[in-house]
Amino acid sequence: MEQSSKSHTPVRRYCLDPSDSLGTSFLLTPGVISGGTVTHDCPLSRSVGYFLEPLIALAPFCKKQLRLTLRGITADDRDLSVDLVRTVTLPHLALFGLDTGLELKVRSPPAQNISHTRRSQNAAQRRSAAAKSTFHVPPPNSSHPSTSPTPEKYSASAALLRVGADKCPRMIDSARTILNRYIPDIYLVPDIYRTQDSGKSPGFGITLVATSTTGVLHSAEAIAQPGSLADEIGKTAARLLLSEIRHGGCVDRNHQWLVLLFMALGPQDVARCRMGPLTPKSVQLLRDMKEFFGTSFKIAPADESEDLILSCLGTGYINTNKTAA
């Protein structure tokens, strides 16, 4: 909590202040979410994705367009990698009309003379990397994704930094052996950084994304730990992806909270979404939104599966920060 609140300090005019040395509680002083151009050096204890998740939820309600640069490691074994944020998290915002000008770029250390063109794949740990996300978003619209998805194709990025080049094809091949049992359309891309572009931390990992016939995204990733075998990393990611697909719904477990939040903050219209069994995080969010916004969700079973249809009436939240002094 303490790390995350510190990263939000330059974004808010009034912010979260940890009220104890352990960072287990904080004092909230409401105020304008300023936005603008912000640069922050993230601690190496958590990846950039840890800080991006809450900031993505705040970005549509900033007074000024948020141009955010975060410097830190791009992936770890606890948080979403920047690859997954770019390829899965940001597309979920398109359900609410928040895709205009939305962009996340990952670039090499500033000391390197590397162009800022978007890389198609970036993962694994890079302690000197900088993740830059640019937001320009209108208020959220209603969402109605309620069709049961069927996986149509799989895509993946396998990243390799300062380790043997043989690990990348081994990860890809091992993931393919599992996924090919279900669908032949698999697009796997290796991403091997040169020494001068790879930061200071060796590592490797793989991010997998399944796209359904209706555009639904399910994702999983696996990051190597000391002593990990490349073959096992690929198989682990593939099994995690199949588990996400089996979980059902139009939203994977990592992004239930984001969709529920923008459903509640959308216009005063009924929003619906089909989800698998709710995670504890999502259940707690529903309780919090009931308390803060007075928004109740109707939850009904979908067909004969374990899926649920969640619906609510949006609060019609308006971004008054744009006109606030």
pLDDT at 116 over 60: no
Least confident of 96-100, 198-202, 300-304: 198-202
Q: Which of 247, 269, 295 is the last residue of a domain?
A: 247
Single pTM value for the model: 0.77
Q: How far apart are CA 137 and CA 152, in angstroms?
A: 29
pLDDT on residue 114: 25
CATH number at residue 300: 3.30.1370
Based on the fold, state whether residues 46 and 119 are members of the same structural domain: yes
pLDDT of residue 149: 52
- Assess whether 21 and 112 both reside in one domain: yes
- 85 and 55 assigned to the same domain: yes
pLDDT of residue 37: 83
Please identify, among 247, 274, 294, the residue that sits at the C-terminal boundary of a domain: 247
- Residues 122/186, Cβ–Cβ less than 8 Å: no
Residues 182, 276 within the same domain = no
Question: Are residue 38 and residue 75 in the same domain, yes or no?
Answer: yes
Please indicate, yes or no, whether residues 269 and 308 belong to a single structural domain of this protein.
yes
Specify whether 262 is located in the same domain as 306: yes
pLDDT, one tens digit per residue, over 268-301 is: 889 999 999 999 999 999 999 999 999 999 999 9
Supply angle C-alpha 237, 238, 241, rounded to 5: 85
**170 or 126, greater pLDDT:** 170
Do 11 and 58 form a contact (C-beta atoms < 8 A)?
Answer: yes
Distance, CA of 304 to CA of 24 (rounded, Å)? 42
pLDDT on residue 256? 95
CA dihedral sign, ordered 73, 77, 80, 81: positive
For the chain, the domain total comes to: 3
- CA 92, CA 89: separation in Å to the nearest integer? 5
pLDDT value of residue 235: 93
Q: What average pLDDT does the structure give for the chain?
A: 74
- Secondary structure of the chain in HEC code, one letter for each residue: CHHHHHHHCCCECCCEEECCCCCCCEEECCCCECCCEEEEECCCCCCHHHHHHHHHHHHHHCCCCCEEEEECCCCCCCCCCHHHHHHHHHHHHHHHCCCCCCEEEEECCCCCCCCCCCCCCCCCCCCCCEEEEECCCCCCCCCCCCCCCCEEEEEEEEEEECCCCCHHHHHHHHHHHHHCCCCCCEEEEEEECCHHHCCCCCEEEEEEEEEECCCCEEEEEEECCCCCCHHHHHHHHHHHHHHHHHHCECCCHHHHHHHHHHHHHCCCCEEEEEECCCCHHHHHHHHHHHHHCCCCCEEEECCCCCCEEEEEECCCCCCHHHCCC
Q: If you average pLDDT over residues 110-133, what whole number do you get?
A: 33
Q: Which among 227, 247, 267 is the end of a domain?
A: 247
**Considering just the CA atoms, what is the radius of gyration of the chain in Å?**
20
146 located within any domain:
no
Q: Is residue 80 part of a domain?
A: yes
Tell whether 143 is covered by a domain: no
Domain that residue 231 falls in: 151-247
